[in-house]
Amino acid sequence: MNKQKRVSHPIYNLLATDIEGFEFLAELALDMQWSWDHSTDEVWRQLDPELWEITHNPWVVLETVSRSRIEDMLTDSVYRKNVDDLVKIKRQNLDAPAWFQQHHAKSPLTCAAYFSLEFMLSEALPIYSGGLGNVAGDQLKAASDLGVPVVGVGLLYQQGYFRQVIDKDGAQQSLFPYNDPGQLPITPLRRADGEWLRLEIALPGYLVWLRAWQVQVGRIKLYLLDSNDAANIPAHRGITSELYGGGPELRLKQELLLGIGGWRLLNALGLKPEVCHLNEGHAAFAVLERARTFMQETGQPFDVALAATRAGNLFTTHTAVSAGFDRFTPALIKQYLGGYAEHSLEIPLHDLMALGRRDPDNILEDFNMAYLAIRGSGAVNGVSKLHGKVSRHLFEPLFPRWPADEVPVGHVTNGVHMPTWDSAPADALWTEACGKDRWVGTMKTLEQDIREISDAGLWHFRLSAGRSLVDYVRKRLSRQLTAYGAASETVQRAGNLFDPGVLTLGFARRFATYKRPNLLLHDPDRLLLLLTNPEQPVQLIIAGKAHPEDRTGQALIQEWIRFIRQPKARAHVVFLDDYDMLLSEQLVHGVDVWINTPRRPWEACGTSGMKVLVNGGINLSVLDGWWAEAYTPEVGWALGDGQEHGDDPAWDAVEANALYDLLEREVIPEFYTRDENGIPAVWVSRMRESMARLTPRFSANRAVREYTEQHYLPAAAAFRTRAADKGTIGKQMVEWRHELEKKWAALRFGEVTVETKGKQHLYEARVILKEIDPMAVRVELYAEGINDGVPVRQEMMCDSIFADASGWVIYNAAVSDDRPPDDYTVRLIPYCDGVAIPLENSRILWQR
């Protein structure tokens, strides 16, 4: 039978799937590796240059251009060969063993599920707000580069985060354009028979249908759920309408769909992750659903299921203040999870509420999602060294009587995905110095390699970056002003704004009070003098959004707009609206100095400044977040004294003046001090040191390798151990805990003696254990660390046990006499092989 050519229906614009080679174009367009590997850019540019320039979305280009255009291009032998070669290379790269396969091929990890409320992969998929999504997206990309077996789980928002417009009065207006799924680089997730994979989630009194979508991110798949299903009533279709919109009830519904729906989606796909990574507490309900699934598979009760599965859960907190944790009232939790607790988890609602409360018996206390995440995880980490310390203090109430340094929160400092954030010239520069595969291995030689670039080479690179940024600012501002209905002469002036040779400062952040986006405006007259110095001028680019409900943040934006509209300031400062990923990329490509001014220690990490590193930009920041561990005088500038001062306005004034001083006395003169070749040698030296020392260290490559080796691999092994034989080990751990709970109150310290002999302190401690097995506890000598050093924890050995009813046990230990004996005290803590103390059992008994 002759094959008939399919003809498009005249009413509908059907995709040209019957055209030979179209499937290759679709394969390239639907793999978001194009967001960091720009080898396919020319394919889309040739199809429609204007649409590509506006959207940077290959799928939009592919489904928008005409059939004839696609057919013509695919019959062009050069174009077709390029497409075929790109597909071949892509498949070869995906099949080749990456870092994980080379170093951990026989590991127990086959899948890690990464849950996040937002993912920033590209402006073409606007399901992100800011830093949290940035970290999630960059870590997925780095996992793809390194071959780490990760799947992402999130939500598909019909509107996403709001889009920003600044009106004629300088006020922020919020717009919520619809995210048409047909124009997003996603595909419906279908079963083997072609049926769209949909899940049914029970909420009180009704069922919600969730549609499932798939995003290809190189080697990684990101799965997204949304409630905009025709089977749902309008109110329920809107549950996934807006990111960070609505009130607590909508947020609770979204988090239920993410955590419970997300884990059920993985089950429906036949995926059995050993590791569940919770990117912030929003996803913590996955802890409950994972335990429920284990109950269903093994017949174990909830407490055993939680003990078995929590070893495979990792909680990463990004919050630096207690008020930042999601909390829900007891009434809301009862309404939405009462039935789930009783019928699915088979526990009283009180027991579920206890997982999210500081005091389990306080029926008035709200339910804290971070507490649930902690009590359901085998490890917890902050996102910078300083944030780890801050988090230990935040969570100290969950571990009463434990020293703050021993609160079980570590840290993995964030990093950014350098191939996403480097400019084309930066990519060329690094490729020449370090090779094309520099970000897919261990990066051992990058620091040495980048130092080989000459001053002239680095400075030429930066001049080119400045020209590109100025060109972009002119075009974007002209479009912005035209859209606002500005006068033609105003738009024309924007087309000639800025000078590529002038020092360019950048500040682009969320406009929240603690970030102090207006610290530079503390003394407007001094700032204006600094900007308009005829000998050493400065230009400043500002961008950022304030949450639609944050009136204070919006007022800070208006303050900048009023300043910029002064005649003397117009030529030196711009505010670019609708700060998104594309704008962020352009800014970090070209600014000379990235300024960051949060109140310490309220910036958990702050990744925006990391993005300028690969592009030769230099940071000037408060010693907070990542900069507190990155800063040395050779790589940038530090603001503040490294101490906490709260929200004291007087200290804000001190730091504002210090910022002006830094700019006037160090930053600006260094930029304009040139040698006989016209190169600012000291500036270039600082730029080189920043690039060489910091870029590898604060890359997502390093962060993902740390997560893999420090958390994913141990968690996978621990989960497999606890889950084996239908949770036998988990059951034993629960029995151990219950036994301790019943008998703990009988524990007592008796006499503790110390004798100094031969440069050692010899301690003997008598402990009444009663009926507790000595193997179920551990007795230690403890001394606080000196000068923020590591505390001393010396295990005391069991010397003898008295068999009579008194239950005395004698423990001995010897420590060096380099500290006074009174520095040490004896303590008793629970012990069970494989159990994380105090994370999984926070009981502790001190001698005094």
**Residue 76: how many CA atoms within 13 Å on its side-chain side?**
12
Averaged pLDDT, 531-554 = 95
Total of domains in the chain:
4
- Token pair listed for 641: 């004294």
Q: Are 682 and 670 in contact (CB under 8 A)?
A: yes
Beta bridge partners of 360: none
Residue pLDDT, tens place only, 220-239: 999 999 999 999 999 999 99
| Same domain assignment for residues 422 and 398 | no
Beta bridge partners of 155: 225
| Same domain assignment for residues 77 and 189 | no
pLDDT of the residue at 5: 43
Q: Are 34 and 41 in contact (CB under 8 A)?
A: yes
Whether the pLDDT of residue 145 is over 50: the answer is yes
What CATH number did the domain enclosing 769 receive? 2.60.40
Whether the pLDDT of residue 733 is over 50: the answer is yes
- Kindly provide the residue ranges of all beta strands, DSSP E only, lying in 218-350, ordered along the sequence: 220-226, 275-279, 313-316, 327-328
Residue pLDDT, tens place only, 688-722: 999 999 999 999 999 999 999 999 999 999 999 99
Confidence band, pLDDT 50/70/90 cuts, at residue 789 = confident
Residue pLDDT, tens place only, 8-43: 444 444 567 788 999 999 999 999 999 999 999 999
- Using alpha carbons, select from 765, 766, 768, 764 the residue that is nearest to residue 745: 768
- Kindly provide the residue ranges of all beta strands, DSSP E only, lying in 167-272, ordered along the sequence: 172-175, 187-188, 198-203, 206-217, 220-226
**Residue 702: how many CA atoms within 13 Å on its side-chain side?**
17
The reply to whether 2 falls in a domain is: no
| Same domain assignment for residues 468 and 374 | no
Averaged pLDDT, 736-761 = 93
**Residue 645: how many CA atoms within 13 Å on its side-chain side?**
17
Residue pLDDT, tens place only, 82-129: 999 999 999 999 999 999 999 999 999 999 999 999 999 999 999 999
Residue pLDDT, tens place only, 340-374: 999 999 999 999 999 999 999 999 999 999 999 99
Q: Are 801 and 809 in contact (CB under 8 A)?
A: yes
What is the rounded distance in angstroms from the CA atom of residue 18 to the CA atom of residue 190?
21
pLDDT of the residue at 18: 83
Strand pairing of 845-846 and 777-783? unpaired
The reply to whether 840 falls in a domain is: yes
pLDDT of the residue at 13: 47
- Using alpha carbons, select from 543, 512, 486, 641 the residue that is nearest to residue 167: 486
| Same domain assignment for residues 268 and 154 | yes
The reply to whether 570 falls in a domain is: yes
pLDDT of the residue at 770: 83
Residue pLDDT, tens place only, 570-613: 999 999 999 999 999 999 999 999 999 999 999 999 999 999 99
| Same domain assignment for residues 334 and 453 | no
Residue pLDDT, tens place only, 437-466: 999 988 989 999 999 999 999 999 999 999
Q: What 3-state DSSP class applies to 97?
A: coil
| Same domain assignment for residues 567 and 681 | yes
The reply to whether 715 falls in a domain is: no
Averaged pLDDT, 666-673 = 98
The reply to whether 195 falls in a domain is: yes
Q: Which of 411, 443, 463 is the last residue of a domain?
A: 411
| Same domain assignment for residues 123 and 90 | no
740: how many CB neighbours lie within 10 A of its CB? 19
Q: What 3-state DSSP class applies to 486?
A: coil
The reply to whether 13 falls in a domain is: no
What is the rounded distance in angstroms from the CA atom of residue 104 to the CA atom of residue 98?
10
- Token pair listed for 566: 């002064």
Identify residue 345 by its one-letter amino acid code: L
pLDDT of the residue at 802: 64
The reply to whether 806 falls in a domain is: yes
Q: Which of 359, 388, 411 is the last residue of a domain?
A: 411
| Same domain assignment for residues 437 and 528 | yes
CA distances from 318 to 136, 545, 835 (A): 11, 19, 25
| Same domain assignment for residues 32 and 144 | no
- Using alpha carbons, select from 355, 390, 406, 669 the residue that is nearest to residue 514: 390
Confidence band, pLDDT 50/70/90 cuts, at residue 771 = confident
3-state helix, strand, coil in the chain (%, to 5): 45, 20, 35
What b-and-e string marks burial along 134-150, b requiring 16 or more CB atoms within 10 Å of the CB?
Answer: bbbbbbbbbbbbbbbbb
pLDDT of the residue at 533: 96
| Same domain assignment for residues 577 and 500 | yes
Strand pairing of 777-783 and 825-830? antiparallel
What b-and-e string marks burial along 254-275, b requiring 16 or more CB atoms within 10 Å of the CB?
Answer: bbbbbbbbbbbbbeebebebbb
What is the rounded distance in angstroms from the CA atom of residue 502 to the CA atom of residue 590?
12
Q: Which domain holds residue 206?
A: 112-411
Residue pLDDT, tens place only, 480-520: 988 888 888 889 988 999 999 999 999 999 999 999 999 99
- Using alpha carbons, select from 234, 35, 19, 307 the residue that is nearest to residue 145: 35
Residue pLDDT, tens place only, 154-193: 999 999 999 999 988 889 999 999 999 999 999 999 998 9
Mean residue pLDDT across the chain: 94
Identify residue 295 by its one-letter amino acid code: M
Residue pLDDT, tens place only, 358-416: 999 999 999 999 999 999 999 999 999 999 999 999 999 999 999 999 999 999 999 99
The reply to whether 104 falls in a domain is: no
Residue pLDDT, tens place only, 274-283: 999 999 999 9
| Same domain assignment for residues 841 and 810 | yes
| Same domain assignment for residues 47 and 130 | no
**Signed CA dihedral, 840, 843, 847, 848: sign only:** positive
Q: Which of 396, 411, 426 is the last residue of a domain?
A: 411
Q: Are 824 and 780 in contact (CB under 8 A)?
A: no
Strand pairing of 410-411 and 503-508? unpaired
Question: What is the phi-psi region of residue 435: left when phi exceeds 0, alpha when psi lies from -120 to 50, beta otherwise?
Answer: left
pTM > 0.85: yes
What CATH number did the domain enclosing 557 receive? 3.40.50.2000
